[in-house]
Amino acid sequence: MKKQGLLTPIKINDRVIANRAVVAPMCQYSANEGLPSPWHFGHLHQLAISGAGILMLESTAVTMAGRITYHDLTISSDEHVVALAKLLDHLRYVSDITVGLQISHAGRKGSAYPPWIKSGQSLTEEDKAWQTYSSSPIARTEGWPIPQAFSLSELKQLAADFSVAASRANRAGFDAIEVHMAHGYLLHQFLSPISNHRSDRYGGTLSSRCLFPLEVADKVRKQWPKEKILGARLTGNDWLDNGWTIDDCIFLSQRLKEIGFDYVCISSGGILPKTNLKFTPGYQIHLAKAVKDATSLVTRTAGMITTPKQADEIIKSGDADLVAIGREFVRNPYFMNHAERELGGTPKVPPQYERILSSS
Ligand SMILES: Cc1cc2nc3c(=O)[nH]c(=O)nc-3n(C[C@H](O)[C@H](O)[C@H](O)COP(=O)(O)O)c2cc1C
């Protein structure tokens, strides 16, 4: 039997994904009142025709207060559903790629400037900072405001917000959703002992810190159609002494599998701006492998994967089932076209571009 590689299709639930490449979710900070702007149409259009198996849309806030910046995509009203459905219509006109949405809440990382205005800084009062919330009243780092801890009744509402966001994403027509539990955002703020110092049932032991994210996962699972794809983005390591570890991540992945999640994407870092993380090509692959080996869940890796050969090797070696590529897909939207040629596949080119991309 031919060894599986980057170009091998994979079936997740009822859906056959054409190959193992996923366009990683990438915030564009270009929305107005949470609604996609013309930027999203252009940016996502070129990624939709990339020939990847899945296109993940950026982190999209489940409430307006859950945004990272004033310019995040949001899915908190029917108006957002209509606008996202229109965006999807556009993407479906140009491609049959599987399209997913990442749903998120920024917690203490919210009320920030877009990175090109002031990188890694929270809004000032003058620029209409809003009150942020987290698991515990601990600032992200120096110069950031102290968030308010969510009360038990607010957490109940928040879990409901995630599940309503899932049903809205279904109505908008997405094929997949991914709950963002990584990169230092709210659900990660519950998971990590660095940010969660609660003394109620949502803090303390590993299983207590996992409780709220798992309640969210459970509610989302109940809202999201069984035949569509449901995943989560997790942290495999905080890269800090006394932080979240890969064993913790395996525990969480196993619980998500039991709830009925179809895949996990194992990322890392982000709970604090400064960690011991060293960025090297494929620096997170071993984390995905550890989760895949322990749980047999469909596992996605990401992080400095930039060549077809590297991506192909990851799948061939069985380290992960899916490979998310972010920056390289923007630098080179025809990455998969090159990959198909290099790896002996058949490039999938929009007919309008056939004479352009098939000729030398
Ligand atoms: C501009 C930008 C925006 C990003 N936004 C998100 C996001 O919305 N959600 C997420 O989970 N990761 C986000 N990431 C992380 C990427 O999904 C990816 O994991 C990271 O860029 C590493 O992969 P790469 O080396 O292939 O770019 C973002 C990264 C970049 C560069």
Q: What is the pLDDT of residues 102-135, one digit of tens each?
A: 999 999 999 999 999 999 999 999 999 999 999 9
Measuring from each residue's beta carbon to the nearest atom of ligand 1, which residues come in under 6 Å?
24-27, 58-59, 102, 180, 183, 233, 267, 302-305, 325-328
Going by their DSSP bridges, the two strands 176-180 and 322-325 should be labelled as: unpaired
- Rounded distance from Cα 72 to ligand 1 centre (Å): 14
**DSSP string covering 122-181:** BPPTTTT----EESSS--SSTTSPPPEEPPHHHHHHHHHHHHHHHHHHHHHT-SEEEEE-
85/25 Cα distance (integer angstroms): 18
Q: What is residue 3's predicted lDDT score, i.e. its pLDDT?
A: 73
Q: What is residue 181's predicted lDDT score, i.e. its pLDDT?
A: 99
Query: Catalytic positions, please?
Result: 185
* Architecture of the CATH domain 10-357: Alpha-Beta Barrel (3.20)
For ligand 1, atom 18, name the residue with the nearest CA: 326
**Confidence category of residue 360, pLDDT binned at 50, 70, 90:** low
pLDDT (tens digit, 9 = 90+) per residue, 178-216? 999 999 999 999 999 999 999 999 999 999 999 999 999
For ligand 1, atom 23, name the residue with the nearest CA: 303
- Rounded distance from Cα 359 to ligand 1 centre (Å): 32
310/315 Cα distance (integer angstroms): 9
Q: What is residue 88's predicted lDDT score, i.e. its pLDDT?
A: 98
pLDDT (tens digit, 9 = 90+) per residue, 234-279? 999 999 999 999 999 999 999 999 999 999 999 999 999 999 999 9
What's 90-102 look like in SS3? HHHHHCCCEEEEE
201/35 Cα distance (integer angstroms): 36
Domains of the chain, by residue range, sit at 10-357
Average pLDDT, the chain: 97
CA-based nearest residue to 238, from 286, 265, 276: 276
pLDDT (tens digit, 9 = 90+) per residue, 29-84? 999 999 999 999 999 999 999 999 999 999 999 999 999 999 999 999 999 999 99
